[in-house]
Amino acid sequence: MGNNFIGQMVVVLTGIIGVAIVAVLVSKNAQTPAVVNSFFGGFSKALNAATSPVTGGSGGGSGFGSLSLGNIGTLQF
């Protein structure tokens, strides 16, 4: 009886959590598209940085950035 009761409680709690997640995602106040775009934008940059040694890409920039020197040029760090 104990295992069956615990199993049923887990199912009920999982259902409640699932409904809460869906309610938050479809809420009028939710900014779900912005969050999803932000996540995948960051994932894309991380993937680009991870594959840049193999593909020869820039990897999202140099380690410290660059300093613009006006007409002289750009100093890369």
Tens digits of residue pLDDT in 62-75: 444 455 455 555 54
Q: What is the mean pLDDT of residues 20-42?
A: 79
| pLDDT of 6 over the 70 cut | yes
Residue of 51, 48, 29 whose CA lies nearest to 40: 48
Q: What percent of the chain has pLDDT over 90?
A: 16
Contact call for residues 57 and 48 (beta carbons, < 8 A): yes
Give the pLDDT score at 77: 46
Q: What is the reported pTM?
A: 0.40
Q: What token pair was written down for 42?
A: 């960051």
Residue 58's pLDDT band, with cuts at 50, 70 and 90, is low
The kind and range of the H/E element at 71 are: none
Produce one character per residue of 22-58: b if its CB has 16 or more CB atoms within 10 Å, e if not. eeeeeeeeeeeeeeeeeeeeeeeeeeeeeeeeeeeee
